[in-house]
């Protein structure tokens, strides 16, 4: 069940807007984990795209007991963080292992245009290709407008809605806003 402060649960989804509660979000992550497991594919490294894939990568590395590496990327900005621009990559992966694994599960929250996922695969192959034997991709939401089909996904979204994730409220919130709301 969603908690009462979970506003996404009170907003109906439409063809243009998909509102996701925290409960729905974590259920989707668990469904993704099970789908990967049921495929029988064995991986020894998770790489998540930050920011969208961070929570998913964290949960999957805990469930599977595999190391997590983080590739920071940015492609959205503007008002409400809804304007897609060119993708920017961090200089390197953040990881706690000496080397990247050979069978990489590349994780993000969604695939929209597909450009970020495609370019992330190329980035990994260019910088770490000598370690990598196989890369597979996993997302919660796969939009029909994407130029790439992820290997694993939970929901196929034919109408390409804007996905309102439960943590989006923090995109527009300042620390002063938060402090004020806690004083009430």
Distance (Å, whole) CA 54 – CA 40: 24
What angle is formed at CA 156 by the lines to CA 155 and CA 162, rounded to 5 degrees? Answer: 90
- Which residue segment(s) compose the domain that 32 sits in? 21-77+84-181
d(CA 69, CA 57): 9
Look at the chain and count its residues: 184
Q: Strand, coil or helix: what is 125? A: helix
Q: How far apart are CA 58 and CA 53, in angstroms?
A: 8
The backbone region for 107, taken as left when phi is positive above 0, alpha when psi lies in -120 to 50, beta otherwise, is: beta
Nearest-Å Rg of the Cα atoms of the chain is: 17
- How do residues 11-35 score in pLDDT, each as one tens digit? 778 889 999 999 999 999 999 999 9
Q: Is 11 domain-assigned?
A: no
pLDDT at position 37 over 50 = yes
Asked if residue 12 is part of any domain, the answer here is no
Report how many domains make up the chain: 1
Residue 136: inside a domain: yes
Bridge partners of 46, per DSSP, are: 68, 105
- Calculate mean pLDDT across residues 172-182: 86
| CATH number of the domain that residue 122 is part of | 3.40.50.2020
72-108 pLDDT, tens per residue?
Answer: 987 655 555 555 567 888 889 999 999 999 999 999 9
Mean pLDDT over each residue of the chain, to the nearest integer: 88
Residue 123 has pLDDT above 80, yes or no: yes
**b/e map 39-72, b = 16+ CB within 10 Å:** eeeebbbbbbbbbbbbbbbbbbbeebebbbbbbb
User: CA torsion angle for 106, 55, 49, 5 (degrees, to 10)?
Assistant: 130
**Burial class, 35, CB count within 10 angstroms (exposed 0-12 / middle 13-18 / buried 19+):** middle
Q: How confident is the model at residue 8 (pLDDT cuts 50, 70, 90)?
A: very low
Q: What is the pLDDT of residue 84?
A: 59
0.75 exceeded by pTM = yes
What is the model's pLDDT at position 82? 57
Q: Is residue 1 part of a domain?
A: no
**Looking at the domain assignment, is residue 3 inside a domain?**
no
Residue at 15 is within a domain: no
Does residue 62 form part of some domain? yes
């Amino acid at each position: 069940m969603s908690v009462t402060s979970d506003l996404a649960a009170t907003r109906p989804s439409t063809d243009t807007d998909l509102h996701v509660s925290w409960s729905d979000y974590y259920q989707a992550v668990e469904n993704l984990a099970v789908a990967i497991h049921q495929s029988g594919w064995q991986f020894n490294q998770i790489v998540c795209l930050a920011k969208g894939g961070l929570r998913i990568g964290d949960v999957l590395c805990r469930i599977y007991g595999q190391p997590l590496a983080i590739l920071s990327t940015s492609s959205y900005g503007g008002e409400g963080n809804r304007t897609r621009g060119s993708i920017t990559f961090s200089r390197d992966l953040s990881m706690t292992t000496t080397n990247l694994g050979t069978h990489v599960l590349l994780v993000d929250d969604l695939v929209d245009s597909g450009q970020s996922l495609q370019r992330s695969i190329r980035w990994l192959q260019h910088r770490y290709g000598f370690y990598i034997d196989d890369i597979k991709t996993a997302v919660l939401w796969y939009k029909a407008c994407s130029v790439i089909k992820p290997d694993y996904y939970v929901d196929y979204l034919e109408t390409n809605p804007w996905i309102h994730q439960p943590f989006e409220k923090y995109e527009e919130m300042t620390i002063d806003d938060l402090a004020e709301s806690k004083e009430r």
